[in-house]
């Protein structure tokens, strides 16, 4: 199962707006995607409640995993999203 790590670039972390944008992108992949903080349990990246419950802050590293056809491309898209300061956009 492919995975990628990325540091959260949004200045306030994965709070409401950036989390919603990330969840929409994860859902749009059509694949099962998980997100986990370092040494944490993975949660469904398609669930806004689970993503917000992670409490991922600016600079914290998370691991994304996906399974299925196109998983590598989907993960690259999600990594690119989390690598931007979504609060500034």
Q: Does residue 15 have an active-site annotation? A: yes
CB 6 within 8 A of CB 62: yes
**Active-site residue, selected from the candidate residues 4, 9, 15, 40:** 15
| Cα within 13 Å of Cα(78), Cβ side | 34
Residue 11 DSSP symbol: T
Q: Which residues are catalytic?
A: 15
């Amino acid at each position: 199962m492919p995975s990628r790590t990325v540091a959260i670039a949004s200045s306030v972390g994965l709070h409401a707006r950036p989390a919603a944008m990330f969840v929409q992108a994860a859902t749009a992949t059509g694949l099962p995607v998980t997100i986990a903080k370092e040494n944490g349990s993975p949660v469904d990246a398609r669930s806004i409640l689970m993503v917000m419950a992670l409490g991922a802050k600016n600079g914290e590293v998370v691991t994304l995993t996906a399974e299925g056809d196109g998983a590598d491309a989907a993960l690259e898209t999600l990594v690119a999203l989390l690598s931007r300061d979504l609060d500034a956009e």
